[in-house]
Structure 1
Amino acid sequence: MLISRFQQPVYNLIYRLLNDPADACDAVQEVFLKVFRNVESFRGQSSLKTWVYRIALNEAYNHRRWFSRHRKQEVGLETDEEGSRSWIESISDPARDPYELTLNEERHQLIEDALREINPDFRAAVVLRDLEELSYEEIAEVMQVSLGTVKSRILRGRESLRRVLVAKANDAKA
């Protein structure tokens, strides 16, 4: 029940923070191991969702810190970086409009690429609010910062994201 409810949202959060599907899968496994090992320490002062997201955020930061120090260049064997249906499989689905599918895929990739370029604290706040749809209060609990800091990070993160997207659009025009 717990895994089926939170696995995909936790994966989405961690993937957007780590930008690597294999690392995200590893981190998600660690998150659920920690959740199950420490479930008795959950006191109910926050929602279960914010408690799990806090563990996920910490695990993503730990992974990023560890890999920035230890990781060598690796060559992946997977052809599908997203860990889901490939673009070709999706476009061959007769129920989907190929034009809309292509536009959505391009927009999605553009936003994901832009997210990678902004400050990690801003990125986490924007992802938690705009993609995971957490409230400001839940984000404050997950990130262990004040409500004002959350609002500031979301505002600054959205501004940074907008600047990156505008710069990419201007580069594409040139």
Structure 2
Amino acid sequence: MEREAILQQAMAGDINAFQSLFAAFQQPLKSYLYRLLTDRNDVDDLTHDTFIRAFDKIGTFNAEASLKTWVFRIATNLAYDHLRKLKRWPVDAQDQGARLAIGNPEISGSFRIVHQHYTSGAYEMREHIDFCFTCISKTLPIENQVAMILKDIYDFPVKEICQILDKSEGVVKHLLNDSRETMTNIFDHRCALVNKNGICDQCSQLNGIFNPRQDQQEQRMKLELVKESKRFNRAELFELRTQLVKAIDPLQSSGTDLQDIIMRCTRTAIGDVKDFFSPPPVKAL
């Protein structure tokens, strides 16, 4: 059946028809929500709430935007309602998380359990760069974060971001420029992978913990970001980061479980959640 016919059925109240349309972009939606929320339980809840609210309002869909854009707008509004109750992340959130893990044997032990026994507990430096990108994007105001992630990671056109955020084209372009500049400045001062004066080298440190037989410099030099760091300017390095991040689904990668528990530790350290708990809710082998 053609998509238009399925859409008409959905708009007439056929939930199965709507589910078939929603399924086409459900995984990118969940990935997007994880980058905003950094909690898999919250992602599942908001994905469910988005589906219910979108189906409830499907009769109002007027095709001024694509169905995907329309649903992403609903999800973004729900995420915004959730996030505005929380503080923006500090630039040193990862440092705080690292200090908590080092000082707490239960947490550091949980990292090792996940790495050794969980289905997606592998450590790859490229996936931690994705993790770092998410953490640093959390330091932005919510609208800036949303605009940048939609454009630079999920390739939404500016026109559709305007519809999702209900902002003019000029405002969205300002949000994008401001976000990229802020992210670039933070990376420029923090990332020790591409800047010898950077203060954060978690990627190499964690690689040494979880992959002790692998030479850290060898792993670094496999990354285009590192290989090109002496050649490209700051803006081009930011573009390289976004290309790397685009290629990773933070919910479906070889290191999803490990990165998620590291994220949980980070959220605990900065006060986003009250208590770190173990074992984490991931599937064991």
TM-score, scaled to structure 1 = 0.77
Q: Of 65, 75, 79, which residue of structure 2 is paired with 1:46?
A: 65
Which structure's CA Rg is the greater one? 2
Distance 1:116 1:164 in 2: 12
Distance 1:172 1:53 in 2: 33
Aligned partners of 1:27 and 1:63 also within 8 Å:
no
Tell me the number of residue pairs that the alignment of Structure 1 and Structure 2 aligns.
150
Corresponding residue for 1:86? Answer: 120
Please state if 1:149 is matched with 2:155: no
Aligned partners of 1:18 and 1:60 also within 8 Å:
yes
Corresponding residue for 2:49? Answer: 30
Gaps of 5+ in 1: 70-76, 92-101
Q: Deviations over 1:29-86 (max 9, x none)?
A: 1000011111111111221121111101101012223x549xxxxxxx9x87xxx952
Corresponding residue for 1:158? Answer: 180
Corresponding residue for 1:132? Answer: 154
Corresponding residue for 1:172? Answer: 200
Runs of at least 4 residues of structure 1 off by over 3 A?
none
Between Structure 1 and Structure 2, the one with more helix by share is 1
Gaps of 5+ in 2: 1-19, 88-109, 192-197, 202-285
Please state if 1:63 is matched with 2:91: no
SS in structure 2 of the partner of residue 87 of structure 1: coil
SS in structure 2 of the partner of residue 172 of structure 1: coil
SS in structure 1 of the partner of residue 62 of structure 2: coil
- Return the letter of the residue paired with 1:128: L
Aligned partners of 1:50 and 1:138 also within 8 Å:
yes
SS in structure 1 of the partner of residue 199 of structure 2: helix
Q: Of 6, 15, 28, which residue of structure 2 is paired with 1:9?
A: 28
- Judged with a 3 Å threshold, the aligned counterparts in structure 2 of structure 1 residues 166 and 48 are, in CA distance, closer, same or farther, namely same
Distance 1:143 1:128 in 2: 11
Identity %: 28
